[in-house]
Structures are given as C-alpha cells and as structure tokens.
C-alpha cells in the first residue's frame, strides 16, 4: 500500500502553531514511508477565504521545507460534492431539517435542564410531507443532517489506541447549510475518498467528528483511512494555550520574531515524543527516526522561550555557506566567512548580526569620560595581526600601566570602542574592528 496523506488548511488566516504541527508531523510521516503528500485547500467558506492567505500558507510550508506532491482546492469540486449529496439523499442517509437556530438552542437547553446530553432528537424524521410543505410555504429552507446508524463505532488510533463511540450517543451532524452549501465534514470525507487518502492526522478535538466520518465513509462504500489524533498543545505551565500564544502564526514567527525555519521544525517534530528536542539543520534525521509510537497521550508543552533557545543553537551550528545568500541580502559590509564564524556563537537571531556589523565597521560615536585614560590605553595597543587573545593582552597591559581593574578598566574601553556600555564580547569583536579602525576611533575620541 502506498501511504497517501493530506494537509487541509482553510485560507481564512495565517498558519498558527497548531496547524504547523499537524502539517509537519503529517509530512514527516509521509516521507518516512516514501508516500504521497496532498495539500488540499479547504476553501468552501467563500466569504472568509482569501487568496492572500492561500499564498501565505504555501509560502510558510515551503519555508519550512514542506513540499507537497499534489494540490487541490475544494472550490473546484462543488459539482462532485453535489453528486455525492444526491447519492446520500437517495439512500436516506441525508434528511432535511427545518428547525431554526433559536429552536435548536431551546431544545438543547431543555435537554440539559433535564440532565440529558444535548443530542439532536431527530424530530425532523417524524415530519409528514404536509408539515415539510408547510414549513417551506413559510419560507423556511432546510439544512440537511447525516443519519447515523445507532451501533458501535470503533477504530484503532495510531496514537490513542482503541477508540470507541456509539452512534446513539452522537448528534446527527449537519452536512448541508440552509443555502445548499456543503459543510467541512462531507467535503472532507468525499475528498479523502476520491484522493485515496490512507492516513489522516489531526488534533484530538476532532475525535468525535471522526466517529461520524467513519460512518460516512462506510455509507459511500469507501475504505476507512487510519486515523492519528494528536494531543493539543498546552502552555509552558501545562494549561490551555492562551489566545495570544495559540494563535502565533508562522508569519509572525518568521517576519516579526526573525526565527529560523528549522527551529520551528525541530521543536514541533519532537514535541510530545520520547525523542529529545535537538537543533537539527536538516529534516532528514527527523524523517529517518519518525514513528507514531513515540508520541504520548499527554498534552505537550509549547514554550516560546524553548523555541528561542533552539533558534540560537541552530544558528551556532549553521555553516557560512548556508546563510551566505541571506547575509548578502542584508547589504552590510564585510559579512564574510571569517566574520560569520567569529560572531555566530553569540547570535540569538540572524538579524543580531547587524549590530555586530555596525559595531565592527561603524558608524560608531565613541563615548569618552576620561580622555587621559583612553590616551594611555591607546599607547598599549598590541601590534598586528590581532586574534582572539588580543583583547586580554591589551587589557592586561592597560591594567599594569594604570592600576585599573574590573569594570573601571573594561567599561571605558568598551565605551570608547563601541559607544555603548553593553554589546558583543570584546574578545571576539576587537579582531573584527582591527588595529586601524581601533586607532581611528581612539584618535577621534582624543
């Protein structure tokens, strides 16, 4: 059997961390099995679906190295959905319902007040032809529900193990709106059937939907895929993700936070598994070691700070050739391999290199509070060439000449060199500035 999977985002916004985790895990599994990965754009909500969001979704996936083998849009398949709808109506599995939202709400409240589960009571099935005609004369148009068979629904989930429901404990799901447009549940099942999807990966909040979907596959005479329901992410304290954290989008993490794609990939691939989270710079180890058996049932903790730490580790392990093009786009001077190797252990984000370049190459306005001390320090500048030992050699010489030590020694030198009282380590920075530029700054200060 060829493994065939799909990732099915709705283009109603940017991909958030929950979407990304589902997409990535689906992709890694598919590639570990040499399978076929479908990107399906679920755009049946024509009012909220936007072309710019579809483009942003594709850009985000490509940025993370998730490349699909095939793409489909639900908006192109309306004729096919209508064909299947007519089949289900003819088979008696879709039936019209005329209750208004207010009437349904009242029914639910009544059931809850009596200690009953708020399950649809199938009142529409008891309507006579005359009653249905009367409703339509009043201007009511029906929504259509799928008639579940009241029997056990059991499947072997690849993360949750055996899952059991009973049809009698579920509401018949609404599959068609009053305006005749099909809802997610039906379109998704038809697509999964037509594209021969073998495995469906999604969040555990869809477990009860899956029970209904299984009966839809069976009603259509289609093979039932295997299901994987992943635990939802929690915050760093183990609670429900806040709206702000839960809605963190790739757009925000990439364009505003400046994170590396592999930081997100590495974290999301291993979060909630028995494998350690490691700073890989390539997806191949993640694909090679992938297995659903490694995923636990507990809600994994999503910690933004952990993501930031991982980002720094990835930059520290990144070779110059892998960032050369991106550095060139920054338009900064002398960002060569020597510069990169010197500063990368100190980067948290790639954009941090701009500050290193500014301090190393200027413009810098030296801060001088004690001109005599700076003049004395200039006399003891070591001869070229400079290396990683130059800073301590120079600082020790100035210390011996002036008697200064600690902050009283280091801070005036930093301020004269960089114009700041904080910043990159001077042991790394000084060779990048070089003897000529250092002397120029000290002369300018004088």
CA dihedral angle for residue 248, residue 250, residue 253, residue 254, rounded to 10 degrees: -170
CA–CA separation, 215 and 208 (whole Å): 12
Examine the pLDDT at 317 and tell me if it is beyond 90: yes
Average pLDDT over residues 55-59: 96
Distances (CA, A) of 154 to 7, 165, 317: 24, 6, 47
pLDDT digits (tens, 9 = 90+) for 336-348: 898 899 889 989 9
Which pLDDT score is estimated for 235? 78
Q: Which residues pair with 226 in a beta bridge?
A: 199
pTM greater than 0.85 (yes/no): yes
How many of the other CB atoms lie within 10 Å of CB of 251? 17
Model confidence band, residue 445 (pLDDT cutoffs 50, 70, 90): low
Indicate the range of 37-41, 69-73, 158-162, 300-304 predicted with least confidence: 300-304
Q: Which residue has the higher pLDDT, 90 or 424?
A: 90
Which pLDDT score is estimated for 226? 98
Examine the pLDDT at 195 and tell me if it is beyond 60: yes
pLDDT digits (tens, 9 = 90+) for 77-90: 999 999 999 999 99
Average pLDDT over residues 179-187: 94
pLDDT digits (tens, 9 = 90+) for 270-298: 999 999 999 999 999 999 999 999 999 99
Q: Which residue has the higher pLDDT, 13 or 236?
A: 13
Model confidence band, residue 158 (pLDDT cutoffs 50, 70, 90): very high
Distances (CA, A) of 424 to 268, 354, 369, 387, 418: 31, 11, 21, 16, 9
Query: Taking all residues of the chain, what is their mean pLDDT, rounded to a whole number?
Result: 93
CA–CA separation, 134 and 118 (whole Å): 27
Average pLDDT over residues 324-332: 89
pLDDT digits (tens, 9 = 90+) for 198-252: 999 999 999 999 999 999 999 999 999 999 999 999 877 666 664 444 457 898 8
Question: What structural domains does the chain harbor?
Answer: 321-360 (no CATH), 364-445 (1.10.10.350)
Model confidence band, residue 176 (pLDDT cutoffs 50, 70, 90): very high
Examine the pLDDT at 8 and tell me if it is beyond 60: yes
Examine the pLDDT at 393 and tell me if it is beyond 60: yes
Own/partner contacts of 294-300, CB < 8 Å, gap of 24 or more, are: 295/159, 295/230, 295/231, 296/231, 296/272, 297/159, 297/160, 297/231, 298/231, 298/272, 299/231, 299/232, 299/233, 299/234, 299/238, 299/272, 300/231, 300/233, 300/234, 300/271, 300/272
Examine the pLDDT at 401 and tell me if it is beyond 90: yes
């Amino acid at each position: 059997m060829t493994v065939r999977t799909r990732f099915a985002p709705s283009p109603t916004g940017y991909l958030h961390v929950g979407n990304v985790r589902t997409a990535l895990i689906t992709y890694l599994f598919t590639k570990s099995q040499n399978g076929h990965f479908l990107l399906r754009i679920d755009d049946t909500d024509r009012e909220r679906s936007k072309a710019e969001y579809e483009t942003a979704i594709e850009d985000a996936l490509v940025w993370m190295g998730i490349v699909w083998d095939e793409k489909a849009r639900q908006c192109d398949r309306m004729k096919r959905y209508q064909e299947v709808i007519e089949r289900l109506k003819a088979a008696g599995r879709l039936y019209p319902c005329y209750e208004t939202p207010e009437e349904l709400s009242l029914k639910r409240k009544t059931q809850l007040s009596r200690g009953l589960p708020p399950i649809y009571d199938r009142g529409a099935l008891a309507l006579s032809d005359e009653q249905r005609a009367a409703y339509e004369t009043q201007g009511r148009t029906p929504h259509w529900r799928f008639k579940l068979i009241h029997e056990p629904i059991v499947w072997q989930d690849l993360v949750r193990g055996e899952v059991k429901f009973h049809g009698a404990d579920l509401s018949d799901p609404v599959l068609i709106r009053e305006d005749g447009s099909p809802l997610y549940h039906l379109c998704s099942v038809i697509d999964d059937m037509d594209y021969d999807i073998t495995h469906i990966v999604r969040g555990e909040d869809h477990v009860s939907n899956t029970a209904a979907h299984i009966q839809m596959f069976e009603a259509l005479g289609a093979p039932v895929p295997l299901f994987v329901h992943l635990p939802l992410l929690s915050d760093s304290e183990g609670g429900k993700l806040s709206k702000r954290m839960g809605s963190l989008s790739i757009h925000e993490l990439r364009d505003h936070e400046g994170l590396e794609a592999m930081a997100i990939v590495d974290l999301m691939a291993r979060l909630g598994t028995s494998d350690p989270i490691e700073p890989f710079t390539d997806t191949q180890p993640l694909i090679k070691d992938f297995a659903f058996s490694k995923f636990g049932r507990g809600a994994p903790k999503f910690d933004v700070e952990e993501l930031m730490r991982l980002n720094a580790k990835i930059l520290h392990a990144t070779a110059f050739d892998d960032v050369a093009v991106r550095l060139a786009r920054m338009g900064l001077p002398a960002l060569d391999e020597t510069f990169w190797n010197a500063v990368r252990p100190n980067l948290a984000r790639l954009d941090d290199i701009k500050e290193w370049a500014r301090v190393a190459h200027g413009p810098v306005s030296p801060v001088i509070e004690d001109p005599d001390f700076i003049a004395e320090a200039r006399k003891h500048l070591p001869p070229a060439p400079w290396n990683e030992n130059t800073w301590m050699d120079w600082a020790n010489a100035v210390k011996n000449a002036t008697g200064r030590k600690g902050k009283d020694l280091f801070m005036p030198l930093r301020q004269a060199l960089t114009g700041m009282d904080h910043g990159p380590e001077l042991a790394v920075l000084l060779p990048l500035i070089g003897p000529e530029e250092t002397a120029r700054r000290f002369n300018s200060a004088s």
